[in-house]
C-alpha cells in the first residue's frame, strides 16, 4: 500500500497579522518612570521605621505587590534593619498587615502619576487601524487601579481587556496574566501577540506565554526617572543610561527594545513582516 502523509505530522505555520498587543501599565503606558509604586513602597517601610532606597524598592518591580513586599522583607539589608529594630525578622503576619497598609498608599500615589506616556495615543490609533486588539495587565491589585483605569479613559486609553495579578493563580513571571488577556480578547494564536513591558519580569512573562516581547527601556523601571528628570540629563548621561537599560532588556530576552511606547510602531510593523514569513517568537 502507498504511504500516506498524516496532516498531523507537520505544523502549519501561521502567516497572518498581529492579533493583539498586551501592555503593562506603570512605566509602559502611564506614569513615566514608574514612580507610583516606588513612592508607595518607600512610604510603607518608612511607616515601619525603616528607610529603603529607590534602588531597593525597584528590585522586585513587575511582581504582584504582596510578593513585592515579601521580597523586600527578605532583602538582606532590609531584613537586618527590621530585625535590629523590632527584635525579630518580618513574619507572614507582618507582610499581610503591610499589604493592607500598602493599598491606600498605592492608590494615593497612582492618583498623582496617572498621566499617559507621550506617544501612547498615536500608537493606539495605529493599532486600532490595523484591527489589533489591545490588552493591559499589571502587578497591581484590582482594588488599586479603579481610579487609574478611569483617569486613563479620560485621557483616551481604554484597553479591551485588563488583568490584575490578583485575578490569576500567580503573577509575573508566570504567563497567566497575558494568557488571560489573550483569552479575553479572543486570540487564536499566542505567537501573534506582543507583550510590551518596562520590567525584566514582564518580559519573562511574555516569553513564557509564547509571545513576541518589546522591552521599554527609558520610560519605565530600568532607568527609573520621571520625564522631567530624564530631560534634565545631558546627552552623555542619557546615552550611558540608555545603553545599560537596553543591554539588560536584551539580556532578558526581549525581541525588541525601545525608549518608550512612542517608538513602538516600527517594531510592530517588523513583527507583522516576520509573521507573514512564518516566523515565530
**For residue 76, is it left (φ>0), alpha (ψ between -120 and 50) or beta?**
alpha
Are 268 and 125 spatial neighbours (Cβ–Cβ below 8 Å)?
A: no
CATH 3.20.20.150 at 37-113, yes or no: no
Contact 88, 114 (CB under 8 A): no
Q: Which three cell numbers stand for residue 73?
A: 522583607
Alpha helices in the chain (DSSP H): 35-47, 54-58, 65-74, 76-86, 92-113, 120-129, 146-154, 176-185, 200-208, 227-232, 235-251, 265-276
> Is 24 among the catalytic positions?
yes
pLDDT along the chain (281 residues), means of 10: 48 89 97 94 96 94 93 97 96 96 94 96 98 96 92 97 96 97 98 98 98 98 95 98 98 98 98 97 96
Known catalytic residue: 3? Answer: no
pLDDT of residue 1: 46
Taking a C-beta distance cutoff of 8 angstroms, is the pair 270, 227 a contact? Answer: no
pLDDT of residue 12: 74
**Catalytic: which of 31, 65, 180, 198?**
65
Decide if 72 contacts 41 (C-beta within 8 A): yes
Instruction: For residue 248, count other CB atoms closer than 10 A to its CB.
Output: 16
- List, by residue range, all CATH 3.40.50.1000 domains of the chain: 20-34+115-276
Contact yes or no for 117/260 (Cβ under 8 A): yes
217, 246 contact by CB (below 8 A): yes
CA distance 263 to 242: 14
- Element at 136 (helix H, strand E): strand 133-138
Enumerate the CATH 1.10.150.240 domain ranges in the chain, comma separated.
Answer: 37-113
Which fold, 20-34+115-276? Rossmann fold (3.40.50)
Secondary-structure breakdown of the chain: helix, strand, coil percentages, each rounded to the nearest 5: 55, 10, 35
Amino acid at each position: 500500500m502507498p504511504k500516506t502523509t498524516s496532516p498531523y505530522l507537520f505544523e502549519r505555520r501561521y502567516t497572518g497579522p498581529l492579533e493583539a498587543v498586551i501592555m503593562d501599565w506603570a512605566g509602559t503606558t502611564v506614569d513615566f518612570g514608574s514612580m507610583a509604586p516606588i513612592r508607595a513602597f518607600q512610604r510603607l517601610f518608612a511607616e515601619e521605621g525603616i528607610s529603603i532606597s529607590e534602588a531597593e524598592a525597584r528590585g522586585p518591580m513587575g511582581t504582584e505587590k504582596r510578593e513585592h513586599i515579601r521580597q523586600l522583607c527578605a532583602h538582606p539589608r532590609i531584613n537586618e534593619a527590621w530585625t535590629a529594630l523590632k527584635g525579630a525578622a518580618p513574619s507572614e503576619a507582618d507582610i499581610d498587615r503591610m499589604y493592607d497598609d500598602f493599598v491606600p498608599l498605592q492608590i494615593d500615589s497612582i492618583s498623582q502619576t496617572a498621566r499617559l506616556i507621550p506617544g501612547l495615543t498615536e500608537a493606539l490609533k495605529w493599532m486600532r487601524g490595523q484591527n489589533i486588539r489591545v490588552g493591559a495587565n499589571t502587578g497591581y491589585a484590582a482594588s488599586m487601579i479603579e481610579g487609574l483605569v478611569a483617569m486613563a479613559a479620560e485621557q483616551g486609553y481604554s484597553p479591551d481587556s485588563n488583568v490584575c495579578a490578583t485575578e490569576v493563580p500567580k503573577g509575573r513571571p508566570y504567563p497567566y496574566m497575558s494568557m488571560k488577556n489573550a483569552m479575553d480578547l479572543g486570540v487564536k494564536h499566542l505567537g501573534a501577540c506582543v507583550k510590551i513591558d518596562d520590567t525584566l519580569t514582564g518580559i519573562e512573562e511574555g516569553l513564557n506565554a509564547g509571545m513576541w516581547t518589546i522591552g521599554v527601556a527609558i520610560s519605565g523601571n530600568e532607568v527609573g526617572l520621571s520625564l522631567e528628570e530624564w530631560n534634565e540629563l545631558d546627552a552623555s548621561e542619557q546615552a550611558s543610561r540608555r545603553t545599560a537599560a537596553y543591554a539588560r532588556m536584551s539580556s532578558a530576552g526581549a525581541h525588541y527594545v525601545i525608549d518608550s511606547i512612542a517608538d513602538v510602531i516600527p517594531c510592530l510593523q517588523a513583527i507583522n513582516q516576520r509573521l507573514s514569513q512564518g516566523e515565530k517568537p
